Structure 1
Amino acid sequence: MKTVCRMCHGGCGAIVESVEGIPTAIHGDPDNPTSEGYFCIKGKAALDLLRSPDRLTSPLVRTGPRGSGTFQQVSWDTALERVVGELSANMKLYGPESTVLGQGTDRNYQEWVFRLANAIGTPNVVGPAHVCFYPRVMASVLTYGGFTFCDYDGDPHVILLWGSNKPNTHSDGVIGIKLLRAVERGSRVITIDPRRTQTAARSSLHLAVRPGTDGALALGMIKIVIDEGWYDREFVAAHTTGFDELADHVRAYDIDTVARITGLAPDDVLEATRAYALAPRACVEAGTGVSQNENCFDTYRSIAILSALCGNLDAPGGDLIWDPMPIEGRRAFPRTDLLTDDQARKRIGGDKHKVLSMSGWVAPGDLHEAVLSESPYRVSSLVLFGSNVLASYENTEAVLKALAKLDLIVVCDLFMTPTARFADVVLPASSWLERDQIVEFNSYLAARRKVATVEGCRSDEEIILDLAARLGVGRHFFPSVEAALDAKLAGIGLTWEQFKEIGYIRNEKRYFKYRADGFRTRSKRVNLVNNALRAMGYQALPGFKIPPPPSPDLPYIMTSAHSRQFYNSEYHQLPITSRGQSAPRLTVHPRTAEREGLKDGDEAELFARPGARGVRMAVKVSDDVEPHVVMADACWWYPEESSIDASLTSSVNLVTNNDRTDEHMGSATMRGVPVGIRRAGAPLGRAKRAGHE
């Protein structure tokens, strides 16, 4: 059976082979136009996920102290009645805004979570949006009214790979194989990344930017483009506003200043800018490496402006603006009309991080502060769908304190994560192989088809439908998941039964859409200067805050990324994905290793405050990073450990906090953190996994 993988955000075509209805093998679909048969190690572990003996298969209700892992198995009716009873009582006592819904990285049920939130009247949905996709989304929307994707099939002459390791980490519907195919056809890649990834090593130019300083580089590139006259004069005159003000604004970012801030050679900055600006076709692939610091929104704004100045918006081989197909998808399905204006104004952090609030999200740091301070009101309940917040959110100490203060924590997940261990009720969720879904990406619609059932588990959509009915808001939903899928597809005249037989519908590209209707902004132009931001109390032009320099106690700058075989905090318990790496790595330069008395394989502790608890990691000595930079594997936890504290011993978020956040988005500084390192004490005591040394 053909389907679409969801072991990560990518959405690769997959073929599942079955014998008598039981899946026996899975591999890439060579006929899928998006992935062309590519299938990574995570996809190959999908059947491990389906069959894992560690899967949760019964609802659980806590019987011991929080975090003890002491639960009682109960029926679905008993668990859901417990959840609904406590949610209803808390909302009656404190208001619907006292309930917060949360989710992890999107599994194509994000719009369901928001629909439930809007239906019950809470404006509060928390997730990793602030350090993932949404800084780029909102920067793009506020600059030119849409969101862009690299048009790799349009044969860009230059690809600016900025904070993205695309061949290893795929984003929604944009698979790294497309970039590699473009390179085979002659595209030149320029990589901007603090570490020398495999992609950076193969690039024509690698700018090893100092973590957290991408914004200064982008502003400096804009200045060069303007000073040298390398911008598209016709496009700027006809389709932008604020060019003169922008030109004046970037005067402070001369090439020597930018080189000093970023640690880059002036000649490299000039060469990268020249190559990009003068290319007949060029695109920017900006990844989450840019999202996780206090300058992220303005950095993405600067990148969007750079693309516009060079005439690459909606152009062949450039940055193509997403033109959604007419289904009830990410924009319509959440039913924002169900949430009253009065309730929307109660969104936590909405007065502080206004741009994030516009997108409907709450920043985790704002939520935790509100829980602990009971301001602006009491937060009573948290219902999480597929989110291991203790491993993935910044500032683990604050997360733990906030969770401890809540009256009710509900976790829907596949495994007993540290966050699930801390819950009051745990609901066993199904994997992507166990549900029907519509996959909506920029370049296609596809059917993800259910190929198996794990007894006792339910999809998040099924759980939400049941909760909605029991909470008295079922009228805003559907009698079944299939009925919901039919409703979503009505705009293209198909039912789910018809669509799943078709399997894949390409979203045909249209270039230069703005020539007919303008851009989707009030001015119908690209906002180089944004007066809407000015009205909200922000700067109308992108700025940059210089990060704090290293100190004698904290002489290094930390960046981080998850390992290729994992997806954020997922898959640490699966044999295929965990076999190649049993501990997180701290990559340090040879000179750093010599200075600290470390060698390859040693255990070290990473710390952000002298004398404070460190994060335990295995040292990898490599010149892939600069001497002043260390690179930590992110979102690590140990599934085999029996306590929350032990399972998070190597979580990099033990050293992150909310002291430096993006003023627009609430994005935490998770990359660009001043740190120190020291040799660890006693070795980490870790149980051996089955079949894994």
Structure 2
Amino acid sequence: MIIDHPDGVGGQCTEQRSVCRMCHGGCGVIVQMRDGVVSELKGDPASPASEGFFCTKGKASLELLTHPARLTEPLLRRGDKHIAMPWDEALDMAAHRIGEQIARHGAESVVLSQGTDRNYQEWVFRFANTLGTPNVLGPAHVCFYPRVMASILTCGGFTFCDYEGEPEVIILWGSNKLHTHSDGLIGVKLAKALHRGARLVVIDPRANDQTRRADLWLQIRPGSDGALALGMLHVMIKEGWYDAGFVAGHTDGFAELAEHVRGYDPQRVAELTGLDAGQVVALASAYGQAKRACIEAGTGLSQNENAFSTLRSICILSALSGNLDAPGGDVLWDLLPVDGRRSFPLAEQLAPEQQAKRLGGGAYPVLSMAGWAHPDAVWDAMLDAQPYAVKTLLNFGSNLPMVYADAQRVHRALRGLEFHMTCDLFMTPTAQLADLVLPVGSWLERDQIVEFNAYLAPRRKLAQVGQCRSDEEIILGLAQRLGLGQHFWPDLEAALDHKLAGIGHTWTSFKQHGPIANTPHYRKYATQGFRTRSGRVNLLHAGLPRMGGDALPQYRPGEDLPDGHFRMSSAHSRNFYNSEYRQLDSLRKREPLPRVQIHPQAAAALGIAAGDWVLVRSATGSARFCAELCDGVATDVVYVAPSWWYPEEEGADNWQRSNANMLTGRAARASEMGTSNFRNVAVQLEKIEKDDSHAQ
């Protein structure tokens, strides 16, 4: 594999500042160049987000850049093989097939799919909206969008913890913030707040580094967080631990909320959550009586059927306590005036009659309001042509059977497509099924505007692997061929110039300038109100019942755990990023096998020892994992490694053998967003012989 450097990058030894994207975090990085070639990476102390922090995944970026298994040229599938073809021919063919499908079946028959956002999400949506398809598929329903939509419908915006605003109490709720990072918010800010004396409260079913340093740890039953949030509201209202002035001046529905949560007394909540009643009161006291407090709600809360209501309740907690948009609380951030996440998608270009065709929109209108199709509805359309046929998939960076529930159904759906294009760095299980595979670059091979809540920064293209292109460049090439040029630009630099015009920069000047901090402004509601129709916080949302939801947050308990079963959950790995990076030796050595964590007492009862291979079965399917004994989980709970596959192996089953989504099923109807249940799945365990696992 030949690695060249782009024109204009040279000299014996130089340094360039950029932004890592090996995970969501967006840490600042200094890229050292020797003779125009990337030679070393280190954390950037001047980064407004990471302050020099740089994790093991970031340090593996060079390994990713030069990995011998990287895709380096467009590939066309012929039978069971993929053969190389030139870029122009590949894009011409893709555009022809897309146009052909639209002419025959309508634009809605084309689904655009993206994986965890690599800062090109708004590009995918712009392409879909101008193409005329309402169907953009992504992990929104199990990632941040339950929280995004719960916040928007409650208080009109999305909040972030103000760790630099001197919080007295920090609640990490379903979030392992010190090990895994959300957009632009790195654990270093949390660590510094704790060092300054903030009290730490952790709500998590599993012990971790954070629970060991916490002032209070609530080892909650997986999936029962919504009951705990309603219980906190009950105690805070009963004891008067809320900001009465804020409630009277800036909220609607307090009387109805107070009546609604009367039934969630500490004893009932304890029964629903597996906690003690005293812990519920202690949690409400610590939060409700703090002068400044924030709640970091992680994706652990977004992966069961109660996700939307749970996150609505947490937003309401922030409002009642007076911490909403307040120093040290949960701040509503305004983005800088670039053409980005809010405006760049051109949602207005999608005709109303096409919007009405969004797959899953009728069943899950809150998800549809955010612009996303629901995956279960997409698979139905692919497999059963219901409510209409989907024949084409344009996939940007998503390994679908590894990340969506009911993996076998996902795989069957992909196999039946008439045209499937995937853009990725490696030949993943998804790419193996594609008719056309287009090679894309890593973060070191991209020019991008990094738009986070706290800052805006340039990501610079500093390397070129083979013929790889960025996803944005692929979208530009397809848009020109499909007659959408009026909505796009002749090249990427022109597009970046356009996006930056609102802050008076071009791409060239922005690269020279570097990161721009976005300073928070507190209590904006005092002069502007909240961005809701009433200008107030919707404790009760009268419009949600019209969308199939609940005016007040609800909690619906799952089914009782059958005898002989465990509650299965999972957690993000600090070594991988969803299904990515298992090819990288430095990271794989840290986590060589897919693990199932079991309490020693429960394992002994089944004759399972550490290192044994275990077959995990659910009502949907089965998968194999290596046993790890862990006294930090409850005796009726197990944790499995998510999104696992074996890129080093060839064969038809390397994607399913240890895939946690062989165990998950269709979304429960109770959620406004159709959130899949990843956090409370009933499973059984069985010790199996090592030779049966084939996973060595």
TM-score, structure 1 normalization:
0.97
Report whether the alignment pairs 1:636 with 2:644: yes
For 1:10-49, what per-residue CA distance to the aligned partner results, in whole angstroms no more than 9, with x for missing partners?
A: 0100011111111111111112121011100000000011
- Cα drift, residue 479 of structure 1: 1.1
Structure 2 unaligned blocks of 5 or more: 1-15
Report whether the alignment pairs 1:574 with 2:584: yes
The aligned counterpart of 2:74 is: 59
User: Structure 1 residues 105-114 or 373-382, which shifts more?
Assistant: 373-382
For 1:554-608, what per-residue CA distance to the aligned partner results, in whole angstroms no more than 9, with x for missing partners?
A: x210110232110011100012111111111100111111111111111101110
Report whether the alignment pairs 1:455 with 2:466: yes
- Cα drift, residue 682 of structure 1: 4.0
The aligned counterpart of 2:600 is: 590
Rounded to whole Å, the distance in 2 between the matches of 1:190 and 1:685 is 39
Local SS of the residue matching 1:646: coil
The aligned counterpart of 1:110 is: 121
The aligned counterpart of 2:386 is: 375
Indicate conservation of the 8 Å contact 1:562/1:635, yes or no. no
1:48 alignment partner AA: E
Report whether the alignment pairs 1:310 with 2:318: no
Local SS of the residue matching 2:691: coil
For 1:643-683, what per-residue CA distance to the aligned partner results, in whole angstroms no more than 9, with x for missing partners?
A: 24133210100000015255211110011111111102343
Indicate conservation of the 8 Å contact 2:305/2:667, yes or no. no
Aligned residues: 681
The aligned counterpart of 2:58 is: 43
- Cα drift, residue 373 of structure 1: 2.2
The equivalences for 1:336-485 within 5 A come to 336-485=347-496
Rounded to whole Å, the distance in 2 between the matches of 1:678 and 1:576 is 31
For 1:401-451, what per-residue CA distance to the aligned partner results, in whole angstroms no more than 9, with x for missing partners?
A: 211221111100000000001111100011110011011111100111111
For 1:334-384, what per-residue CA distance to the aligned partner results, in whole angstroms no more than 9, with x for missing partners?
A: 111111111111101111100000000112112112222211111110010
Report whether the alignment pairs 1:681 with 2:689: yes
The aligned counterpart of 1:149 is: 160
Rounded to whole Å, the distance in 2 between the matches of 1:379 and 1:618 is 38
Distance 1:450 1:659, change over 3 A: closer
Indicate conservation of the 8 Å contact 1:413/1:426, yes or no. yes
Rounded to whole Å, the distance in 2 between the matches of 1:613 and 1:558 is 13
1:434 alignment partner AA: E
1:603 to 613, 624, 639: 613
Local SS of the residue matching 1:683: helix
Local SS of the residue matching 2:653: helix
The aligned counterpart of 1:14 is: 29
Indicate conservation of the 8 Å contact 2:612/2:690, yes or no. no
Indicate conservation of the 8 Å contact 1:142/1:521, yes or no. yes
Indicate conservation of the 8 Å contact 1:294/1:663, yes or no. yes
- Cα drift, residue 269 of structure 1: 1.2
Report whether the alignment pairs 1:551 with 2:562: yes
Rounded to whole Å, the distance in 1 between the matches of 2:209 and 2:378 is 38
1:599 alignment partner AA: A
The aligned counterpart of 2:625 is: 617
The equivalences for 1:197-216 within 5 A come to 197-216=208-227
TM-score, structure 2 normalization:
0.97
Indicate conservation of the 8 Å contact 1:641/1:647, yes or no. no
Rounded to whole Å, the distance in 1 between the matches of 2:633 and 2:60 is 30
For 1:497-543, what per-residue CA distance to the aligned partner results, in whole angstroms no more than 9, with x for missing partners?
A: 11111110000110000000100000100000001212223210011
The aligned counterpart of 1:691 is: none
Indicate conservation of the 8 Å contact 2:667/2:674, yes or no. no
Indicate conservation of the 8 Å contact 1:293/1:669, yes or no. yes
Report whether the alignment pairs 1:527 with 2:572: no
Indicate conservation of the 8 Å contact 1:662/1:668, yes or no. no
Distance 1:579 1:410, change over 3 A: same
Rounded to whole Å, the distance in 1 between the matches of 2:690 and 2:381 is 38
Indicate conservation of the 8 Å contact 1:293/1:672, yes or no. yes
Rounded to whole Å, the distance in 1 between the matches of 2:449 and 2:566 is 45
Report whether the alignment pairs 1:626 with 2:634: yes
1:668 alignment partner AA: S
Report whether the alignment pairs 1:279 with 2:287: no
1:630 alignment partner AA: V
1:657 to 638, 654, 665: 665
2:48 alignment partner AA: P
Identity of aligned residues (%): 53
Local SS of the residue matching 2:331: strand
- Cα drift, residue 686 of structure 1: 5.8
The aligned counterpart of 2:40 is: 25
The aligned counterpart of 2:5 is: none
Local SS of the residue matching 1:367: helix
The aligned counterpart of 2:277 is: 266
For 1:190-237, what per-residue CA distance to the aligned partner results, in whole angstroms no more than 9, with x for missing partners?
A: 001110111111111111110110000001110111011101000000
Rounded to whole Å, the distance in 2 between the matches of 1:647 and 1:523 is 49
1:51 alignment partner AA: T
Rounded to whole Å, the distance in 2 between the matches of 1:490 and 1:662 is 44
Local SS of the residue matching 2:260: helix
1:288 alignment partner AA: T
